[in-house]
Structure 1
Amino acid sequence: MSVKAEIKPTSVFIVSGGAKGITAKCTINLAQQHPCKFILLGRSELLANEPEFARDCFDEATLKKRIMEYLMNQGEKPTPMKVQGFYQQIAGSREIKQTLSEIRATGSEVQYLSVDVTDTLDLHQKITDTVESMGKVTGIIHGAGNLADKLIEKKTEADFEKVYTAKVKGLENLLSCINSSDLEHLVLFSSVSGFYGNIGQSDYAIANEILNKSAYLVKQKYPSCHVVAINWGAWDSGMVTPQLKKEFAKRGIDIIPIEVGTQMLVNELQSRHHDTTQLVIGSPSIPPAVKLAPELKKYRIRRQLNLSANPFLHDHVIAGNPVLPATCAVSWISDTCEKIYPGHKAFGCSDFRVLKGITFNETLATEYFLDLQEVAKDVDNHEVDFQGKIWSRNPQGKIIYHFSSNVKLRRDIPSAPTYERLNLAADNIITTVGKDFYQKGSSSLFHGPAFQQVKRVINISQEKITTECFWQEISRKQQGQFAAYWVNGFTTDLSTHGLWLWLSHLYQEICLPGQFLQYEQFAKTPCNATFYVSCEVVSKTTTGVVADFYIHDEQGKLYSQLLGAKGIIFPAKLMEGK
């Protein structure tokens, strides 16, 4: 844990791309809370005097009309490109002046340099001259960048250079202009595109990921410097139109409000007691749904499994051996289907069966196969139906089937229905609470922390049990090869624990999952928040039990429903490996 340098009135920040747009907003907010000195860099020209015809004209349409008239009076043809270029020059200069004015209003000292950060000689000369009057540079905020979005096969070398050099060469040049030993703060404006990737932004993703890695290298070399690469998501700025906001919402992409994002930057610069070098602010850039082709395809995906790569399995031990939860097999199949068709989600799984299961002992295969067969497509409604089977070969080469399931992908998930038989009235029959359910000898629940917890049993009868649940999200490293995405194998497993408690309380029996008829998901089950499960028992025999599970919020709105789930009843001693 290192202590970060404070921002003082004498601190001098170079801010690339800092006179316009989001970087300017961030700089203004920083100046308001920490008045100091700023050197803003930008390619736009700062006009000392605007053309006479532009004065007191702030309406875009009117100003463009005046530009057209001016060009015609000069004997030039007012092409759309010329008019737009002239307008952007005036508008850009005005925005720069506004930024400078707002920064000066905070009591800060600020200068603007019209310079391209990729022009090494010009940048060196102008920064050297400015530092003589402003003082030594103690901080850099590198916000400059360019976009040239298009599919990779359509990108040119010039496109790549334009995007790449602004980020990477720009940082290299900025660092070469200062005395590195004086540097107390280095903030790199990276992007979630570098962290998650994004369609049409291969060059932008590469450049930003290099910024991320550069942050770690600088931090290693200068451990006392506060270094952070902030991977920003989409900002709620003028570039995000209402139509684009609607598309982002449809794709589950969060927008960063300007006042929230700018304060996050200030908070990060103020933080003196953590060493986070890479900070991701924003959701993944989920691609739009791919267009479906009518032909039916088949796939085979290979996967190697091992215990060390999946720490959560130590919390799912049966008869002394870690066992893959059936719900993780469901997420394995459904997640793979979703990756084949980005933008689609697994709305339903049907006819799921545990055939052999997967136990992490001497029977663990060296390789597992997931075979997926498309059995139906509705191109117009954006739906795909799969049949999936997970299998391996034993040492003798014989095929062993472990799990099977059908999966329905949909681009548009239906609105969640409401569970009509909602009953959250407590009967106080079972008074055990929280982690006490999982204490050895207190119940039939063998699950470790990765699959806990039932917080309380709200009510129980011969036909039904209602539980209040809460899944404390485990780390991605603990989740291993079965990360919780849309279908969460951990919360789904937790949702079935009520049936175990019902069997234990009324019959002193336990069960293991065998199959289910239908699973439908309308929304993600919440992590780190309370949810409820209403488990209705359909039938019970000496060897098995059938139940329907409804996972919902406090008002009964469904996250998902698991219907026709069949459990096989076993002696309790089986769980202890006796």
Structure 2
Amino acid sequence: MERSLSGLVAEPIVADHIIGDAPVLPAVVALGWAIGAVERAHRSEVREVRDFSVYKGIVFDGGQPEAVRLEMTPAGDTTKVAIRSVAKDGAARPHYAAVTSTVVPAAATVSGLPRLGGGRDAAELYADGTLFHGPALRGVRRVLAEDEKRLVLECALSELRPDGGAFAGARFAPGTADLLLQAGLVWMRLFRGTAGLPLSVAKAELHAALPDGEPFLVVVEPGERNAASGGAGDRLTVSACGADGRVLTRLHGVCVVPAPHMEAKFRQ
């Protein structure tokens, strides 16, 4: 499949995802395209995604590709997805990759969660260099529990569906999903003292669609240090839950690397 990028920069999910002075395609938009494309091609719901990686993010700075290609390679109940662009000299440039699956993940719950409405207001996170997101993506509302072993945030966001839902699946929409990656950046700021960037997700479990405009909880728990980045990054488990603790979406092995050089751009 091939898509033009010309209209995306005007979509709020991109226009409010600016680092420094240039809009950057959110990784969740690429992931949503992979999920949605596989679902439409195979007429079945994607329930898990493995090995999602960002090789070269797309920055709308005038040098972005005019179009990107998505290639699907099915194998049993999985489909390998590669998103690439082709340079003028014919060379392929990889941007994102993932492996989708129709295998249904086991139901999960998180116990001992705080109630909605407590804790402290999270608005300052969008002003102090922790998060760089503009108004359309500012869905982290409150910090409910602030511990390195378990950070709990209250989130709510009216869903963003760029290009009429072309970058979404039955159980995945990119706007609310971006809040899970934002939660990883909040954890990095609070417990590593620096800005961070998410580079990959080992596995995503899609249990149910996230609430559209209604509050839900996001729980961040650390795993082992990321050996692939020389020990400099952290691997986090990020779970979006209902108020009753039922897991809606869970991301395993979210690799967040420290990016102190990005702090000024985040504040900008």
TM-score bin (small chain)? 0.7 to 0.9
> SS at the partner of 1:500?
helix
**Cα distance, 1:540 vs. partner?**
4.6
Verify the 8 A CA contact 2:188 2:258 in the aligned structure 1: no
**Amino acid of the residue matched to residue 528 of structure 1?**
G
**Cα distance, 1:311 vs. partner?**
3.5
Match of 1:437 in 2: 125
**Amino acid of the residue matched to residue 455 of structure 1?**
R
User: 201, 211, 214: which is aligned to 1:526?
Assistant: 211
Match of 2:174 in 1: 489
> SS at the partner of 2:47?
strand
- Do the aligned partners of residues 444 and 393 (structure 1) sit closer, same or farther apart at CA in structure 2, a change above 3 Å counting? same
> SS at the partner of 1:568?
strand
Match of 1:559 in 2: 248
> SS at the partner of 2:29?
helix
The two structures have a TM-score, normalised by structure 1, of 0.42
1-structure distance, mates of 2:55, 2:47 = 23
**Amino acid of the residue matched to residue 418 of structure 1?**
T
**Cα distance, 1:480 vs. partner?**
7.4
Say whether residues 1:416 and 2:116 are aligned partners: no
Match of 2:98 in 1: 405
2-structure distance, mates of 1:425, 1:523 = 21
> SS at the partner of 1:346?
coil
1-structure distance, mates of 2:236, 2:164 = 27
**Amino acid of the residue matched to residue 444 of structure 1?**
T
**Cα distance, 1:450 vs. partner?**
2.3
**Amino acid of the residue matched to residue 423 of structure 1?**
L
Say whether residues 1:316 and 2:8 are aligned partners: no
**Amino acid of the residue matched to residue 545 of structure 1?**
D
Verify the 8 A CA contact 1:386 1:406 in the aligned structure 2: yes
**Amino acid of the residue matched to residue 368 of structure 1?**
V
- Do the aligned partners of residues 415 and 573 (structure 1) sit closer, same or farther apart at CA in structure 2, a change above 3 Å counting? closer
Verify the 8 A CA contact 1:471 1:527 in the aligned structure 2: yes
- Do the aligned partners of residues 483 and 516 (structure 1) sit closer, same or farther apart at CA in structure 2, a change above 3 Å counting? closer
Verify the 8 A CA contact 1:422 1:534 in the aligned structure 2: no
The two structures have a TM-score, normalised by structure 2, of 0.87
**Amino acid of the residue matched to residue 503 of structure 1?**
M
Over aligned residues, Cα RMSD in angstroms? 2.5
Say whether residues 1:462 and 2:138 are aligned partners: no
**Cα distance, 1:555 vs. partner?**
1.2
User: 391, 397, 400: which is aligned to 2:84?
Assistant: 391
2-structure distance, mates of 1:368, 1:318 = 21
Say whether residues 1:335 and 2:28 are aligned partners: no
2-structure distance, mates of 1:457, 1:327 = 23
Summarize deviations over 1:147-185 as a string: whole Å, max 9, x none: xxxxxxxxxxxxxxxxxxxxxxxxxxxxxxxxxxxxxxx
**Cα distance, 1:308 vs. partner?**
4.4
- Do the aligned partners of residues 389 and 516 (structure 1) sit closer, same or farther apart at CA in structure 2, a change above 3 Å counting? same
Verify the 8 A CA contact 2:47 2:206 in the aligned structure 1: yes
2-structure distance, mates of 1:462, 1:477 = 34
**Cα distance, 1:460 vs. partner?**
1.5
Report which of the two structures shows the higher radius of gyration computed on alpha carbons.
Answer: 1
1-structure distance, mates of 2:168, 2:46 = 15
2-structure distance, mates of 1:477, 1:489 = 9
**Cα distance, 1:361 vs. partner?**
1.8
> SS at the partner of 2:250?
strand
Say whether residues 1:350 and 2:30 are aligned partners: no
Summarize deviations over 1:248-302 as a string: whole Å, max 9, x none: xxxxxxxxxxxxxxxxxxxxxxxxxxxxxxxxxxxxxxxxxxxxxxxxxxxxx01
> SS at the partner of 2:97?
strand
- Do the aligned partners of residues 481 and 358 (structure 1) sit closer, same or farther apart at CA in structure 2, a change above 3 Å counting? farther
Flag structure 1 segments of 5+ consecutive residues without an equivalent.
1-300, 377-383
> SS at the partner of 2:209?
coil
**Amino acid of the residue matched to residue 134 of structure 2?**
G
**Cα distance, 1:495 vs. partner?**
1.9
1-structure distance, mates of 2:125, 2:256 = 20
1-structure distance, mates of 2:105, 2:166 = 29
Match of 2:187 in 1: 502
**Cα distance, 1:470 vs. partner?**
0.6
> SS at the partner of 1:496?
helix
Aligned length: 261
Match of 1:453 in 2: 139
> SS at the partner of 2:50?
strand
Higher relative contact order (CA 8 A, sep 6+): 2
The 5 A counterparts of 1:267-286 are none
**Amino acid of the residue matched to residue 500 of structure 1?**
L
